[in-house]
Amino acid sequence: MSNLSFNVSSFRPVDTKLVLMNSSQVDLSFSSAYATSICADLWSEEGGAFSESQNSSTDGQNDSTVSFAGFPSAQNLICRITVTGEPGSENQVHVSINW
């Protein structure tokens, strides 16, 4: 299993490539000191074999998690994380991806 961690701020989507090695599930965890809304998009790099979007949120105290499964195991995936939050706030979210 591989792991990737990074921070995302409001209104600046972050794209990252996930190279799959017999992975059957991708788990994304979010933590933030801010109340935010998060959209996670995951799609196949090699065409339209898989595309899914899930929404989550943080409340400033509790972590949240979304999971993706059902994608072709022989294809690399692109993941886009978009965070929105309160205007005028930093709205920074720590993202951890396990696959």
The pLDDT score that the predictor gives to residue 55 is: 97
Q: Pseudo-torsion of CA 87, 10, 89, 54, nearest 10°?
A: 90
CA 7 to chain centre: 11
Percent of the chain with pLDDT over 70: 98
Q: What is the pLDDT of residues 30-48, one digit of tens each?
A: 999 999 999 999 999 887 8
> Full-prediction pTM beyond 0.85?
yes
CATH of 3-98, one of 3.40.50.1000, 2.60.120.1140, 2.60.120.260, 1.10.1740.10: 2.60.120.260
Domain layout of the chain by residue ranges: 3-98
pLDDT level of residue 23 (50, 70, 90 thresholds): confident
Query: Tens of pLDDT along 75-88?
Result: 899 999 999 988 88
H or E element: which one contains 41?
Answer: strand 35-44
